[in-house]
Amino acid sequence: MLSLHTVSVRRPTGPVLHQIDWALEPGQHWAVIGPTGSGKTSFLETLAGQLPVVSGQYRHTGRLRETVERVANDYRFDRNVSAAAQFYQQRFNADAAAEAPTVREVLQEQVRPVGTVDPESVPLPPPRYDERWLQEVASWTNISHLLERRLTSLSNGETRRTLLTRSLLRRPKVLLLDNPFTGLDTVSRERLHATLDRIAAEGTSLILVTTVRDLPAGITHVLVLEDGRVTYSGPKSAAPLAGEESHEPLTNPERLREWLDNPPQGSFAKAIAMRQVTVSYGEKVVLDNLNWDVTRGEKWAVLGPNGSGKSTLLSLITADNPQAYRNDYDLFDRKRGRGESIWDIKRNIGFVSPELHLYFPREQPVWKVIASGLFDTAGLFRNLTDEQAARVDFALDLLQIQTLRMKRLADLSTGQQRWVLLARALVKNPPLLVLDEPCQGLDLMHTARFRDLVDELCESPERTLLYVSHYADEIPRCVSQVLRMQEGVGTIER
């Protein structure tokens, strides 16, 4: 069906796959595993025809676009959809979001250009899919209730299920998925496992990048990559699945000691004090009378299923949600809406999230992406002082990613991009770290090391932590309190 014969692939930054021999036979379903930056995403892009083969041969039956479907990770598959979801804050801005297309419009490929004044002037094509087929696939992926929702109102997990639905509607013979379980809560992961098993049973071959802990039951074969080379290719029963969990230091010990010897600056008693905070969009109540205090130096986990209000809550803290001005709460001992700018708030916060990753511009080099964290902007638009440049070098050294310094964010693997955004969150040594699913896209070794790194960074009693994850084993040991969200209601566990 598909086969690679001594195939080598390169990106503008250099080779990414070397002398790959591999074949997909009918009835097989493959998992692609390996450390961050090993070439897993490049392997999928090669199969999808998105990366050119520089040597060797890629053979496939039928027209590639009709045979192989790669599930999108973001909105760039359509310029109209991408333009409608072009900035992070839009998700939390009701006025701007009203212009975004609905999930149904995206799936049926009936999206008008952003800014269309007269809808009648832009004729739309008929719906691409029969309504019964749309409803059937939407039920598989549990998005039937989302079809009339605006795209920018979706949670991270809801977005991922919508993108999967878009690909399944096309009835591909081969479905490529890149870390499909990241960002999904336990129930959603179980449903996706069942969905993938159903797809496999109906004759679609699956090839997915994943981790050992999220390996679907229907997978029959495993491909292990390391540094762009195959180290194992064969039946799952014989695959070296334990090898992914090796635990090696990923930080520079000298830089880490310097970090710990320089506690974060900022004088405040409480990082957060919320009093009956409520956020709603139309009739949908996302946060419901939330009362929550976070004292300086406390370490919290914020837990809950997809759509429970976690991201909206964090958007209030990071000054990205305009409904802040309708609510009564303090950040860093200052009541919101009393003259402070969003930049006054953001300078105290180091932040990373799936949404930030989704919307972040990817054309700038890594050093500029990290430097933008000094100014809380999506990209660098000013010259650095010597002190600021030294901070960027420090962050690069701390996470040992100096070799990525001049590469564009777009040329990195998904896991490497996330590691760079983690460096961006740390670059200004902030008193409050807000880490929303920070390990998405990281292999198990990097995940375990990052969890330990957070524990080390939070040794200081001056550092406050909010940590969001859907995996219990990712929660740092330093976390001592939990805010559990369920349908917009928060319950405190100490």
Predicted confidence at residue 88, as pLDDT, reads 52
Residue range 188-209, pLDDT digits in tens: 888 888 888 888 888 899 999 9
d(CA 470, CA 155): 14
Q: Cβ distance 336 to 325 under 8 Å?
A: yes
Q: Average pLDDT, whole number, for the chain?
A: 87
Strand 334-335 with 328-331, pairing: antiparallel
Mean pLDDT of 159-163: 87
Predicted confidence at residue 180, as pLDDT, reads 87
- If you classify domain 2-114+123-240 with CATH, what class do you get? alpha beta
Reduced to 3 DSSP states, what percent helix, strand and coil does the chain have, rounded to the nearest 5?
Answer: 35, 25, 40
Residue 106's pLDDT band (cuts 50, 70, 90): very high
Greater confidence (412 vs 465) lies with 465
- 383's CB contacts (< 8 A; 6+ apart) are none
d(CA 287, CA 310): 9
d(CA 37, CA 15): 12
Residue 244's pLDDT band (cuts 50, 70, 90): very low
Mean pLDDT of 264-268: 80
Mean pLDDT of 343-357: 88
d(CA 173, CA 115): 37
Predicted confidence at residue 344, as pLDDT, reads 84
Q: Cβ distance 6 to 53 under 8 Å?
A: no
Residue 73's pLDDT band (cuts 50, 70, 90): confident
Listed residue (319, 434, 425) closest to 374, CA to CA = 425
Number of other residues whose CB lies within 10 A of the CB of residue 210: 20
Q: Cβ distance 175 to 199 under 8 Å?
A: yes
Mean pLDDT of 116-141: 87
The secondary structure element, H or E, covering residue 340 is: none
Q: Cβ distance 345 to 318 under 8 Å?
A: yes
Over 60: is that where the pLDDT of 363 sits?
yes
Residue 150's pLDDT band (cuts 50, 70, 90): confident
Residue 75's pLDDT band (cuts 50, 70, 90): confident
Domain with CATH 3.40.50.300 in the chain: 2-114+123-240, 253-493
Rg of the chain over Cα atoms, rounded to whole angstroms, equals 23
Burial (CB count <10 Å: 0-12, 13-18, 19+), residue 456: middle
Over 80: is that where the pLDDT of 6 sits?
yes
305: which 2 tokens?
């299923």
Residue range 212-229, pLDDT digits in tens: 888 888 999 999 999 999
DSSP state, residue 90: G
Over 70: is that where the pLDDT of 248 sits?
no
- What is the signed CA dihedral for 31, 470, 73, 99, rounded to 10 degrees? 160
Residue 186's pLDDT band (cuts 50, 70, 90): confident
Number of other residues whose CB lies within 10 A of the CB of residue 91: 25
Of the listed ranges 59-73, 121-135, 159-173, 473-487, the least confidently predicted one is 59-73
Strand 284-295 with 270-281, pairing: antiparallel
225: which 2 tokens?
């990559």
Residue 246's pLDDT band (cuts 50, 70, 90): very low
Side-chain-facing half-sphere of 146: CA atoms under 13 Å: 27
Residue range 399-454, pLDDT digits in tens: 889 999 999 998 888 778 888 998 999 999 999 999 998 888 777 777 888 888 88
Residue 245's pLDDT band (cuts 50, 70, 90): very low
Mean pLDDT of 253-276: 84
| Residues of the chain above pLDDT 70, percent | 93
CATH placement of domain 253-493: 3.40.50.300
- 56's CB contacts (< 8 A; 6+ apart) are 4, 5, 6, 7, 8, 19, 20
Give CA 289 to chain center in angstroms: 28
